[in-house]
Amino acid sequence: MRGGVGRMRSRIHNLAAPTGRRLYSSLSRTNLWVCRASSIQAIGTRHLSTNRKPFYITTPIFYVNAAPHVGHLYTMVLADIIKRWEVLKGEKALLCTGTDEHGLKVQRAAAKAGIEPKLFCDDGATIFKQLAQKALLTNDHFVRTSDREHKDAVEYAWLLLKEKGYIYTEKHEGWYSVTDEAFYPQSGVRPYLDPPTGRKMMTSIETGSEVEWSSETNYHFRLSSFRDRLLEFYKANPEWITPEHRMKEVIQSVESGLEDLSISRPSSRLTWGIGVPGDSSQTIYVWLDALMNYATKAGYPWTPGRDHEGGWPADCHVIGKDIVRFHCIYWPAFLMALGLPLPKRILTHAHWTLGGNKMSKSTGRVVDPFLALDRYGPDVMRFYLAHDGGIQDDANYNNISIIKAYNTFLNGNLGNLASRVTRGKKWSVRGAVERMGPVVPKEWAVQDEDSEDYFYAPGRLFYENTLLKMPLNITKALDDLDPRTALAEIVELARRSNQFFHQSAPWSKILPFAEGEPGEDVDRIVYLASESLRIMGILLMPYMPNKAGMLLDQLGVDKSRRTHQYCKVNADLDYGTPMISLGKGYEGALFPPLSSEE
């Protein structure tokens, strides 16, 4: 058999020719490959040839056994904000999301619904696609683990792992969670009494999911042999996992020892999944299957010399804290075994709670993201999730908090400032830009007529302490994969700008004798406020693409100048003429007051 595997390997390598990407079917009972050659045209459609690796970011793939909740929406939004930020900087970026469709709990959910698993998954995938679209996601890929190309990639990876000696068979006993699709050691479970029913059960300490005792013979992955390699990698990449405390938890877990991982289930118990190549009695474990999706959509297995075209290695995986073990221990070990580069960063976030309890599809304690998006609109929901969502700690979802955020910042600060600046009848944004834009800020010191002393002209301190510094802080936070801190800085920039405009009171400084030219002080105030709005509009595009676009339309900023390179004062002096009607009153307002029904 070993010689047969060696010949098979030779055939695999021979097939992976530069003429196109090759995908392979599972082994037949005679242990021979059936080759599916992809055409050059098909390859070009999936990944355009380029000499530079695209920025590649992913969400987890979501289970289709129940409807999505707002926690899924949060993960999607975080990933999309980071992807849009890279695009804003001029980078080519790819975002992948999708659905996890194999496994025992999906099989059971389909049986309960009385339909075939594939049809059940088709419906579930459609719902998540609709959510992505409704939330304004700019995903380039939507992967499904039932896709043919994904199945081929998983089988290919399995055979390489088997050939390298990382897979073996053994009887496995342990506590198994259908919900988590995972085995837990005795030390990882505890007895639990369900208060509503009084039923005694065993649950996972890590996730709280119910576990059941299972004893079966299946395939195992030699995870224990990667302990030292993983620890060396963590030491060399101390910021690989964000936030820091989860990195420490992963290191502690690996240091305490790793058990080999069960990576298949008997087909008699699990039929809905990818079969083990050459062994119809076993189905591939859902986590090995699911984790490969990230590489699948990056084009794995790659034609030699084209491994970077789909974006691999991933620049960032965005995941919830409940799946850290799978992504930060199992996944890098699989990649090391396959000889593939590891993802560059893992951004883990906390959970959303409702009434102080974790949202869960199994308990029905959830917020329907479709209803929330319909009620508040995608821009407002994206803002709220990014502003209040927890990276370090859990956040509590509350409609009152959404309304407060809207009234305080969106309507009260950003919307109010935009309305006062762009709708001013005694001044012109375009005139202020033309007259003040070319003036060097250091010239904003005026000599007192009765002495040789100089004093700061209106706006000099606001310019130096706020407009120059805060965009740099926002850029750093986003580059550090911290959208929440970046948004908090934008909120503070809006507050300071609104305060500056109000305290400067340009309406009280207008010169009466030159119509259309209200005076240098007024022009300077309007110009600085306009610059703040323009910069905020660009920086808010990853968060609120529609509303940020509307703000920039009101300011008359050309679409070609809505990129990060223009996020500094005096970078664009050609705006100021509105591209859309500014309206009157609430009509045309960026963020009109909420109706009494909200």
- Rg over alpha carbons for the chain, rounded to the nearest Å, is 28
What pLDDT does 260 receive?
A: 94
What pLDDT does 352 receive?
A: 94
What pLDDT does 23 receive?
A: 35
What pLDDT does 456 receive?
A: 55
How far is the first Cα of the chain from the last one, in angstroms, to the nearest whole number?
Answer: 68
- CB-based contact 282:219 (threshold 8 Å): yes
Looking at the predicted structure, is the pLDDT value of residue 34 above 50? no
Closest of 353, 323, 257, 440 to residue 58, by C-alpha: 323
What pLDDT does 458 receive?
A: 66
Q: Which of 40-49, 310-319, 388-397, 546-555 has the lowest average pLDDT?
A: 40-49
What pLDDT does 36 receive?
A: 37
What pLDDT does 37 receive?
A: 29
Structure tokens at 428: 């012109």
| 339 beta partners | none
- CB-based contact 498:417 (threshold 8 Å): yes
What pLDDT does 58 receive?
A: 98
What pLDDT does 445 receive?
A: 56
Neighbouring CB atoms inside 10 A of 506's CB total 24
Structure tokens at 412: 């009260």
Domains detected in the chain: 53-169+222-388 (3.40.50.620), 399-566 (1.10.730.10)
Largest CA distance in the chain: 101
What pLDDT does 215 receive?
A: 75
| 168 beta partners | 220
Q: Quick one: average pLDDT of 297-310?
A: 88
Q: What is the 3-state secondary structure (H, E, C) of 419-467?
A: HHHHCCCCCCHHHHHHHHCCCCHHHCEEECCCCCCEEECCCHHHHHHHH
Looking at the predicted structure, is the pLDDT value of residue 47 above 70? no
Neighbouring CB atoms inside 10 A of 517's CB total 15
Q: What is the mean pLDDT of the chain?
A: 86
Cα–Cα distance for residue pair 371/385, rounded to 1 Å: 15
Cα–Cα distance for residue pair 178/188, rounded to 1 Å: 15
Q: What is the pLDDT of residues 454-507, one digit of tens each?
A: 445 667 888 888 999 999 999 999 999 999 999 999 999 999 999 999 999 999
What pLDDT does 29 receive?
A: 30
pLDDT-based confidence at residue 452 (cuts at 50, 70, 90): low
User: To the nearest whole percent, how much of the chain has pLDDT over 70?
Assistant: 86
What pLDDT does 382 receive?
A: 98
Contacts of residues 159-163 at CB distance under 8 Å and 24 or more positions apart, as own/partner, are 159/8, 159/12, 159/27, 159/277, 160/338, 161/221, 161/334, 161/337, 161/338, 162/5, 162/277, 163/5, 163/6, 163/8, 163/9
Looking at the predicted structure, is the pLDDT value of residue 453 above 60? no
Closest of 301, 295, 299, 303 to residue 46, by C-alpha: 299
Neighbouring CB atoms inside 10 A of 171's CB total 9
Angle at 257 between CA 251 and CA 263, to 5 degrees: 100
Cα–Cα distance for residue pair 386/366, rounded to 1 Å: 18
Q: What SS3 state is found at 235? A: helix
Q: What SS3 state is found at 212? A: strand
Residue whose tokens read 């390489």: 160
Q: Structure pTM?
A: 0.85
What pLDDT does 298 receive?
A: 95
What pLDDT does 176 receive?
A: 79
Q: Which amino acid is at 417?
A: L
DSSP 278-339: TEEEEEE-HHHHHHTHHHHTTTSSPPTT-TTTT-PSPSEEEEEGGGHHIIIIIHHHHHHHHT
Q: Which residues contact 431 (CB under 8 A, 6 or more apart)?
A: 516, 517, 523, 576
Could you list the beta-strand ranges (E) of 459-507: none
What pLDDT does 406 receive?
A: 96
What pLDDT does 563 receive?
A: 98
Higher-confidence residue: 407 or 358? 407
User: To the nearest whole percent, how much of the chain has pLDDT over 90?
Assistant: 68
Measured between alpha carbons, how far is residue 122 from residues 273, 408, 459, 549 in Å?
Answer: 15, 42, 58, 34
What pLDDT does 294 receive?
A: 97
Q: Quick one: average pLDDT of 413-437?
A: 94
Judge if the upstream peptide bond of residue 313 is cis by omega within 30 degrees of 0.
Answer: yes
Looking at the predicted structure, is the pLDDT value of residue 15 above 60? no
Q: What is the pLDDT of residues 547-563, one digit of tens each?
A: 999 999 999 999 999 99
- DSSP label of 468: T
Q: CA 560: distance to chain centroid? A: 25
Q: What SS3 state is found at 142? A: strand
